Each structure stands twice: as C-alpha cells, then as structure tokens.
Structure 1
Amino acid sequence: MKLSLQTKLTLHSLTIRKDKKHYIVEEVTSGEFYEMPQVCIDAIEQINQGVLLEQIEIELKQRYPEETVDLVDFAEQLLELQLIKEVDGVTVEVKKSRPVESGFTWIPSSVGRVFFNRFSNKLYVGLLAVNVLFLIVNPQSFPSYKDIFLFETVMPSLLLWMGVSLVLVLIHEFGHILAVRSYDLPAKLGIGHRLFFVVFETDLTPAWKLAPKQRNRLYFGGLCFDQLMLFIALSLQLFFGVNHGLIAGILGLVVLDIFIRTIYQCCFYMKTDLYYVFENCTGCYNVMENGRKLLSQWLPWIKSPPATETFAGEEKTVKLYSIFFVTGILLTCSLFLFYFIPQTIYAFTKILPGFLQPISDPVFWDAAVFVGQFVLILGLLLYSWIKNRAEDAV
C-alpha cells in the first residue's frame, strides 16, 4: 500500500501510558505493547485528529529541530506493526483478535495481595538478609555439588533431585502468578528454555499495563518465594541437622537448587527475572539487544542481533549492561566449574564400576541408564548447536 505525505490515516484504538523515559503504547485489540518517544506520540495524536501527514511533519520539524522527522517512514512502521485501520478511507485488511483475559483468574486478587503487599515486600528483603546470615553463621549449610547424591546408586539420586527441582520451579513460578494476580491481572504459565535447560515461564506481558514501580513486584515474585523456601529449608536444617537422614538430604537439595537458581538469575546475558528488573529500573527496554551489538565489536563470538534503536541518553546504560553481560558469563562458567562438572565427574566415578557387575545386578543397570541418558542429552545438545549454526549460516 503506497503512502505519501498527502495520506490521511485512521489508527486502531490505542492506549498510551507515560513511562520513565518514553511512552508505552498498547494496541487495545491485540493487547500488544510498543515503546515510543514523545515525538511519535505527538504524531499519533495528530493522526487521530485527522491531520495530513504533510502538515504533521512540518509542525513536528519545527517543534523538534534536533529530531529526524519523516512521517512517511513513521506511517510505514505503523503499517508494519498493524496499527493502521484505514488509509485514505480504505480499510487495511489485517487479522486481529483480542486475547482472552484468562489465566489463573480463578485465584482472587485478594489472595495475591496476601503474599504481595507493602509489608510483605519488606519481609522478603528481611528473609534474604536472614538467609545470608544463616549461611555465614552455619557454613555447613552452604551447598556442595555432592548434595544431590543421597543414595548409593546415581539414578535414584538424580530422579529425586529432578523431582525437588520441579516442585521448586513451580513454587517460583507461582510466586510470579500471585504477584500478577495481586494487581487483578491474568497470568499465563508456559514452557521455554534457557541454554539447554527446559524451564517453566510465567508470561509477564500484563506488567506493561502497570506503572514502572509496580512492575518490579511481578519480576521479583519468583525470587521472593525462592527466599521463603530457602528460609524454611535452612531453618529445618538447624532442627534436623545437615549431615544425617533423608529429610536433611532433601533439605540440602532445596538449598543447592535455590542457590544455583539465584546465581543463574544474575546471568544477564539471558532474560532472567533480574534482567527485567534492571531493564525496568533503567527504562531501557532494548538493553540486551543493544548491549550484544556493542559487545560484538570486541567479542566476535557474540552474535550481533538485528538492529535496534538506542534512544538518546541510553549509551551509559548499555555499557553498564555489557559489564553485567560478561559477569553473567563468568558466573555461568563458575557454576560449571564448581558444581555441574564436578557433579558429572563424581557421578561417573560412582557408576562406571557398575559395568563390571553381572547384567542381572541393579548396579549394572543404574550405570547403563545413566550413561544412556547422558549420551542422549549430549546428542540432543550437539544437534541443537549444529542446527542453530547451520541456520545462522544461511
């Protein structure tokens, strides 16, 4: 569809909210959100008044002499984003459907506010401080890579760890869900991946309906429940002891899992909860893409993402994120160095002698299942990497 300065546009219904630096524009029908600067908002307001693009461009060039104002280009972007309803009275054919406002709406917002309110926010911060104090005063509680090996055979230990981890992940995501419901917004739970780990993810898109200060509650919701579970586990460890019994072993698994997940949250090269907090506090919403673009100039193994716009004044934030990006990679390497690699080596030292046992011995099958699982996961990982490299090369 040809656009010109003589074009008159009609836009779909939009809701515009002031954010920290710019504005958040919500397309009401689809529920999609976009960040736009003041000059774009002024253009949208005049478009809604029926003003021709030529007149809008002349006025905005006078009002914003330091900005590059091109209304035809802006209109083409609006058309690409499917925000235009009519062009010179001709309807633009697009398929839009309003998302169903569902997703844990059966949980009353009052229940969410029981766990997330002004008092509870301070309580969770206090729990974090107490947990750190627990680990300092009682260093025996500090997690070790051997904490996952509760049984003589490896597979039962790994299955128990996977079960505990699954429960803790669901509790983490339920923290997000209750935080969302505390604002009477719908919450959706899906499945995604980080590196080669399958993870559950709560869709926090409704956060854009809130003011920036309110959004942090949604982003911190999972971490708050993590700290609550860690406090319970550390407290029970003091009661049961950390060296004896299955219960103490399971509590050690809880501490280990939450400790690793908390370190993982600091890995800003992935879009973790803390990354979104950083993004929200700075008001720089393309900081990952712009940070990767900056780092790709010095680190060629970092793939430069598609071009994104760095708004004026965001350069320092992008540089700060780049430091966090590299720090996150170092933290990941530390997790592999001190936990994942030692766990793998220790597991193999325990199971390899099992192959010397008769085929009827359960120890033999423990070793066989573990090695088979390890080879399968490694094969899937290599396949994924090779496939991604092939797609990038096209």
Structure 2
Amino acid sequence: MNLSLQSHLILYPVTIRQDKKNYIIEDTFSGEFYEMPEICIDAISLINSGKLLREVERELTIKYSDEEVDIISFAEQLMEFGLVKEINGEAVLRSKEKQSPKGFTWISPRIGKLFFNKFMNKIYFVLLFLNILIVLFHPELFPNYRDIFIFDSMMINMITYMAVSLCLLLIHEFGHILAVRSHNLPTKLEVGHRLFFVVFETDMSTVWKLKPKQRNVLYFAGMAFEQVMIFIAFSLILFFSGGNSILTGILGIVIIDIFIKTVYQCCFYMKTDMYYILENVTGCYNLMENGKHYLSKWLPFIKKDATTEVFKGEEYIIRLYSLFYVSGMIITCLLCVFYFLPLAYYAYARTFSHLFDSVGNPYFWDAIAFLGQTVLMIGLFLYAWLKNRRDI
C-alpha cells in the first residue's frame, strides 16, 4: 500500500500523555507505548482532523521552520507501529494482539496502598538509612563470602542459599506487584530462566500510564521490601547474638544475598530497577541503547545500535550515562574479585579435600555431587553460549 502526499489516513485511537520532555503515546488496543516529540503529536492531531498528508506537512513546516519535516517517513513509522487503520478509505491489516497484562486484579488497590503511600515511602528510605548506620556501628555485620557456608556439606549450603535467594526474589517482585496494584493497574509475574536459574520478573509495562514521579516508586518497590528484610535480619542477629547458629547463618545469607543484589542494581550496563529510575529521572528512555552506540566508538566489544534515536538535548545525559555504564562493569569486576572468586576458591578447596576421603565417608559423595553439579552448570553455559553464537 503506497503512501503519498495525497494520502488520507485514519488512525486507531491512542491516548497521549505529556511526559518530562516529550509525550507518551499509548495504543489503547495493544497496550503498547511510544515516546514522541511535540512535532509528532501535532502531526497526529492534524491527521485526525482529516487533513491530507500534504496539508499536514505544510502546516508543520510553517510551525517548525527550524526542523526537517518528512511526513511520509512519519506515516510509514505509524504503519510499522500498527496505528494506521485506513489509507484512502482502504483498511490496513492489523496483526497486533492485546498485550496489556490482566493479572493480580484480585489484589485490592487498598492493600497495595497500605504498603505504598506517602508515609510508607518515607519509611522505606528511613530503613535504608538505618541499615547503613547499623553496618557502620556494627562492621561485623558487613557481609562476607563465607556467610554462605553455614553447613559442612557443600550441597546443603548450595541448596540453602538457592532456597533463601528464591524466597527473597519473590518478596522483591511482590513489592513491585503491590506497588502497581496501589494504582489499580494490572500486572503479571513472568517466569523464565537464565541458563539453569529460575527468573521472576514483574510486568511493569502499565507504569507508562502514570506520571514520572509515580513511576519511580514502582521501580523502587522491590528494593524497598528488601530494605525491610535486611533490617529485620540485622535486628534478629543483634537480638540473638550468640544464640541459634543456624538461624544466625540463614540471616547472614539473607544479608549477603540482598547486598549482592543491591550492588548489582548499580550495574547500569544491565536494565536493573536503578537503571529504570535513572532513565525515568532524566526523561531519556533509550539510555542504554544510545549509551552503547556512543561507547562503541571507543569500546569495540560493545555492539552499535543504529535503531535508536537521540532526541534534542539528550547528548549530555547520554555521555554522563556512559560513565555509569563503564562504572557498572568495574563494580561487577570488584564483586568477582572480593566475593565470587574467593567464594569459589573456598568452596572447591574444601570439596577437593574430601575427594581423598574413603568411599564410605558421606563427605566424599557430597564432593562428588557438588562437582557433578559444577560440570552440569558449565555444560549448560557452553550449550547456551554456542546456541547464542549460532543464532547471531
């Protein structure tokens, strides 16, 4: 179906919300969102008023005399988004399906507001401050990689850590769910996997219906619940000092797991909750894509992304984000040096020592099982890596 300046378009209904710098367009049918500058909003308004593309382009050229106006390219983009209903009276086939989540509507918004309101939002930041003070006054509570090893059996240590980490992950995601429901918006909990790990992710697509300040609360919600959990863990350890060693050990796992996850939130080369907060505060919603494109000039191992668009005034923010991007890589390396490598060395040094025990010793079989799990993990990693290489 050819487009020309003589074409007359009819668009599907959209909802337009003004954001910090540009506008957020919501496809009311599919639930998809797009960021557009003011000139595009004016173009949509003129198209909806029944004007031909030629007339739309002429009016936009007069109003935006300092910008290049190409209404044909914009109309083609609207077609790619599936927003064009008819061209010159001829229907345009639409293959989109509704993508808006509909889950967790059984949770009343009132319950969500019990956990996320002006008062509670301040409480979470107070807890964050208190947790920092607790560590400063009790430096022995600062997590150590050996906190994971509360049993002599490596397999039991691994199972315990994975169970605690999974529970904390669910608590984190439930924070997001309650925050979304506090605004009476639907969401869903998606279950996937990365290699052999189960991953839960809350669908946050509906947050674009909210104002930027409200979105920040939803992005922070998971970390807010983690601050509650780590404060409880600190308090119980201080209260039961010298008490139940297993309970203290499990609380130590809670602390180190949340600590590592919190540090990972600052690794801005991944789309973490903190990344989305940074994106939301700056109003630049393609920071990672634009940042990678900018860094690829100096770091050849970073792939260019030519599909993204830099809006006017975002250049400085993208350069600043690039520093955060590189800093995140450094933080990851530091985690490896101070936590993951010592942890792995400690675990395997103890495991290898039991390989020389007698076959009747249960720790010999514990070592065999732990090493067997390691071989399986490496095999799955190599399979995923090779499969990813073939798909490129």
Tell me if both proteins adopt one fold, taking TM over 0.5 as the criterion.
yes
After superposition, what is the alpha-carbon deviation per residue over 1:244-281, rounded to whole angstroms, capped at 9, x for unaligned? Answer: 61010011000000000000000000000000000000
Q: Does the 8 Å CA contact 1:31/1:98 hold for their aligned counterparts?
A: yes
Q: Which residue of 2 aligns with 1:173?
A: 173
In the alignment, does 2:155 pair up with 1:150? Answer: no
Between the aligned partners of 1:196 and 1:286, the Cα distance in structure 2 is 30
Q: Does the 8 Å CA contact 1:293/1:305 hold for their aligned counterparts?
A: yes
Question: Aligned AA for 1:227?
Answer: Q
The alpha carbon displacement at 1:199 in A equals 2.5
Q: Which residue of 2 aligns with 1:41?
A: 41
The alpha carbon displacement at 1:295 in A equals 0.6
Q: Which moved more, 1:175-184 or 1:356-365?
A: 356-365
The alpha carbon displacement at 1:98 in A equals 3.2
Q: Which residue of 1 aligns with 2:185?
A: 185
Between the aligned partners of 2:309 and 2:7, the Cα distance in structure 1 is 26
Question: Aligned AA for 2:384?
Answer: S
| TM-score of the pair, normalised by structure 2 | 0.97
Helix, strand or coil at the partner of 1:25: strand
Cα 1:64/1:195, change in 2 over 3 Å: farther
Q: Which residue of 2 aligns with 1:125?
A: 125
Between the aligned partners of 1:47 and 1:89, the Cα distance in structure 2 is 14
Cα 1:319/1:300, change in 2 over 3 Å: same
Q: Does the 8 Å CA contact 1:242/1:252 hold for their aligned counterparts?
A: no
Cα 1:309/1:197, change in 2 over 3 Å: farther
Q: CA RMSD in A?
A: 1.5
The alpha carbon displacement at 1:84 in A equals 0.4
The alpha carbon displacement at 1:386 in A equals 3.1
After superposition, what is the alpha-carbon deviation per residue over 1:152-211, rounded to whole angstroms, capped at 9, x for unaligned? Answer: 111101100110000000000000000001001012111356798543111110100001
Between the aligned partners of 1:274 and 1:53, the Cα distance in structure 2 is 42
Between the aligned partners of 2:270 and 2:146, the Cα distance in structure 1 is 27
Q: Does the 8 Å CA contact 2:5/2:72 hold for their aligned counterparts?
A: yes
Q: Does the 8 Å CA contact 1:237/1:248 hold for their aligned counterparts?
A: yes
Cα 1:267/1:19, change in 2 over 3 Å: same
Q: Does the 8 Å CA contact 1:243/1:249 hold for their aligned counterparts?
A: no
Q: Which residue of 2 aligns with 1:164?
A: 164
Between the aligned partners of 1:196 and 1:291, the Cα distance in structure 2 is 30
The alpha carbon displacement at 1:113 in A equals 0.3
Q: Does the 8 Å CA contact 1:141/1:242 hold for their aligned counterparts?
A: no
Q: Does the 8 Å CA contact 2:101/2:188 hold for their aligned counterparts?
A: no
Cα 1:325/1:193, change in 2 over 3 Å: farther
Between the aligned partners of 2:289 and 2:101, the Cα distance in structure 1 is 30
Helix, strand or coil at the partner of 2:355: helix
Helix, strand or coil at the partner of 1:237: helix
After superposition, what is the alpha-carbon deviation per residue over 1:8-50, rounded to whole angstroms, capped at 9, x for unaligned? Answer: 0000110000000000000111010000000000000011111
Helix, strand or coil at the partner of 1:328: helix
The alpha carbon displacement at 1:103 in A equals 1.0
Q: Which residue of 2 aligns with 1:78?
A: 78
Between the aligned partners of 1:333 and 1:196, the Cα distance in structure 2 is 22
Question: Aligned AA for 2:178?
Answer: L
After superposition, what is the alpha-carbon deviation per residue over 1:223-264, rounded to whole angstroms, capped at 9, x for unaligned? Answer: 100100010000111011278610100110000000000000
Q: Which residue of 2 aligns with 1:204?
A: 204
| TM-score of the pair, normalised by structure 1 | 0.96
The alpha carbon displacement at 1:345 in A equals 0.8
Q: Which residue of 1 aligns with 2:230?
A: 230
In the alignment, does 2:325 pair up with 1:340? Answer: no
How many equivalent residue pairs? 392
Q: Which residue of 2 aligns with 1:362?
A: 362
After superposition, what is the alpha-carbon deviation per residue over 1:115-134, rounded to whole angstroms, capped at 9, x for unaligned? Answer: 00000111111000000000
Between the aligned partners of 1:247 and 1:60, the Cα distance in structure 2 is 68
In the alignment, does 2:25 pair up with 1:11? Answer: no
Helix, strand or coil at the partner of 2:34: strand
Q: Which residue of 2 aligns with 1:350?
A: 350
Between the aligned partners of 1:197 and 1:268, the Cα distance in structure 2 is 21
Helix, strand or coil at the partner of 1:356: coil
Q: Which residue of 2 aligns with 1:240?
A: 240
Q: Identical aligned pairs, as a percentage? A: 55
